[in-house]
Amino acid sequence: MDAIRVHGIEKSYGKQRVLTGIDLTVPAGTVFGLLGPNGAGKTTLVRILATLVQPDAGRAEVAGHDVVSAAFSVREKISLTGQYAAVDELQTGYENLVMVGRLRRLGRAAAKRRATELLERIDLVDAGRKLVKTYSGGMRRRLDVAMSLVTEPPVIFLDEPTTGLDPRSRQQMWTFVRELADAGSTIFLTTQYLEEADQLADRIMLIDHGVAVADGTAAELKVRVGGERVELEFASLADRAAAVLDLGAAVTAFGELSLTVSTDGTAAEVRELLDRMDKIGATVAKVAIHRPTLDDVFFALTGGNPR
């Protein structure tokens, strides 16, 4: 079952086309990562799916409801956490959660019970009775996400949820997102951190200038920009020259005393490569194996910086 379906979505602001014919599906209970340079259209697509903006063309469904004709039904099934924490600094974390529960029509007792449950879930029990203005950035971010979970929505939109967080807080947020997905929630994630998508997303779409340029698992996208590479560093220029003649077209890059060679990354192939160097008398001083990353994918397929 698909939690999100998008077909032919287009959006323009004046003469600027922001999205062009976007198609995607997100199976229920998975994490979908949307990557792209600054201005690629990521946040606009999230706003369309969250019913905050209407598309110019195309169709989108979230939790089985059309985002235009059944916007109210969509809003009942989703939560949206934007790029900046929307919390009341003059209330405690507990009070923030109870307030949201009451606004979402939970009874007083149910809102308090849910607030207590969520504080435990996000590891803020000790800080729950403290004013939010005393919280660190990571604590505020976790509270912000928790506030969107008060009614346990099946679809959660996280728009760059770890922007500005330190590495420890980012790791804590990653753990929280994994727990949400493991519990059955569908997560639609936009992020400027390529490692974040690599760690969390079951499937990734890369968009650039409003156009989808790649779609697949992290492993599939990495294969698109080339397989693994072995860098050989030689003891002398003569050794390097001999290796160039022997390896020929397999060489993909040159250094002063090094060569980079394409490989499937298996131990057997690396061993065979070193055996070949021994046979021609080329002394290999160092060996390094390089695996493609989402950074490689990003820079190969787009023309901008990630954001």
Indicate if the pLDDT at residue 124 is higher than 50: yes
Shared domain check, 261 and 206: no
Question: Where does the pLDDT of residue 89 fall: very low under 50, low under 70, confident under 90, or very high at 90 and above?
Answer: confident
- Residue 301: inside a domain, yes or no? no
Residue 104 confidence class, pLDDT cut points 50, 70, 90:
confident
C-alpha distances out from residue 42 to 34, 149, 196, Å: 7, 22, 16
pLDDT greater than 60 at residue 236 = yes
Are residues 163 and 263 both part of a single domain?
Answer: no
10 with 158, same domain: the answer is: yes
286 is a domain residue? yes
**Per residue in 8-31, is it b (16+ CB within 10 Å) or e — as a string?**
ebbbeeeeeebbbebebebeebbb
305 part of a folded domain: no
Q: Are residues 250 and 212 part of one domain?
A: no
From 223, 239, 263, the end of a domain falls on: 223
State whether 195 and 268 are in the same domain: no
Nearest to 34, CA basis, from 189, 187, 159: 189
Q: Which amino acid is at 80?
A: L
Beginning with the edge strand found earlier in the chain, give each strand of the sheet holding 16-27 in spatial order.
16-27, 2-13, 57-62, 65-66
Residue 79, pLDDT above cutoff 60:
yes
Indicate which CATH number applies to the domain containing 275.
3.30.70.790
Residue 29 host element (H or E) = none
* 120/126 Cα distance (integer angstroms): 9
- Pair (28, 109) in one structural domain: yes
Instruction: Give the whole-angstrom CA distance, residue 304 versus residue 136.
Output: 31
| Mean per-residue pLDDT of the chain | 87
pLDDT higher than 70, residue 227: no
Do 122 and 249 sit in the same domain of this protein?
no
Domain count, the chain: 2
Please report whether residue 306 resides in a domain: no
Kindly state whether residue 193 falls inside one of the protein's structural domains: yes
Q: What separation in angstroms does the CA of 98 have from each of 141, 143, 152, 185?
A: 17, 12, 14, 22
Contacts of 76 (CB under 8 A, 6+ apart): none
pTM of this structure? 0.75
Q: Is 123 in the same domain as 260?
A: no
pLDDT of 191 reads: 83
Q: What CA–CA distance (Å, rounded) separates 128 from 126?
A: 6
Which residues 6+ apart lie within 8 Å of 252 measured at CB? Answer: 226, 229, 260, 261, 262
Same domain assignment for residues 114 and 26: yes
Q: Which domain holds residue 250?
A: 227-291
- The pLDDT of residue 270 is 86
46-78 pLDDT tens trace: 999 999 999 999 999 999 999 999 999 999 899
Q: What is the pLDDT of residue 307?
A: 43
Order the strands of the 284-290 sheet from edge to edge. Answer: 251-254, 258-263, 228-234, 284-290
Q: 145 and 245 share a domain?
A: no
181 shares its domain with 47: yes
Q: Please determine, for residue 120, whether its predicted confidence score (pLDDT) is greater than 70.
A: yes
| Residue keyed to tokens 């110019």 | 56
CA distance 282 to 117: 64
Task: Give me the CATH number covering residue 23.
Answer: 3.40.50.300
Percent of the chain scored above 70 by pLDDT?
96
Query: Helix, strand, coil % (nearest 5) of the chain?
Result: 40, 30, 30
Greatest distance between any 2 Cα atoms in the chain: 80
Q: Give the Cα separation of 242 and 102 in Å (integer).
A: 75
End-to-end CA, the chain: 30
Q: What pLDDT does 85 receive?
A: 62
Any domain includes 153: yes
